[in-house]
Amino acid sequence: MSAGASASDKPGRRNAERYPLNADVEILEPINTHGVVINASDGGMRVAVEHELPLDTVCVVEIQVEDGKTVELAKVVWIREHPDGYLVGFNFVSEVS
């Protein structure tokens, strides 16, 4: 990376500001698994999960936030194996495509 370049300057990287977030998440569909949100932005979130999720899968996710729960549709845009499970990048979507 050249001097002055940031990770958000890389092609394919999103420019939305990410916020640390330690929240429980349940993947309800297409499989049921538990995870923890590591960080989030207006467009998506990074989650540590116990089970592998197929790339491009749209999932129904229930996120536990301070004042209750929210249910969202989120598409798997990347996944990496991790010693304790998997790290998954989700983009929020408004409908199943």
Question: pTM score, two decimals?
Answer: 0.77
Answer yes or no: is 30 within a domain.
yes
Q: Give the residue from 54, 61, 58, 56 showing the smallest Cα distance to 34.
A: 61
Round to whole Å and give the CA distance between 94 and 72. 8
- Alpha-carbon gap, residue 80 to 62, rounded angstroms: 21
> What domain range includes position 81?
15-93
State how far the Cα of 76 lies from the Cα of 12, in Å rounded to an integer.
15
Omega of the bond leading into 30 within 30 degrees of 0 (cis): yes
pLDDT in tens, 40-94: 888 999 999 999 999 999 999 999 988 889 999 999 999 999 888 999 999 999 8
Overall domain count for the chain: 1
9 in any annotated domain: no
Q: Kindly state whether residue 20 falls inside one of the protein's structural domains.
A: yes
Please indicate, yes or no, if residue 10 is contained in any of the structural domains: no
Residue 74: which H helix or E strand, with range? strand 68-82
Does residue 97 register a pLDDT over 80?
no
Integer Cα distance of 76 and 5 in angstroms: 27
Q: Cβ-count burial of 38 within 10 angstroms (0-12 exposed, 13-18 middle, 19+ buried)?
A: middle
CATH code for the domain in which residue 53 is found? 2.40.10.220
Instruction: State yes or no: pLDDT of 5 exceeds 60.
Output: no
- 5 inside domain: no
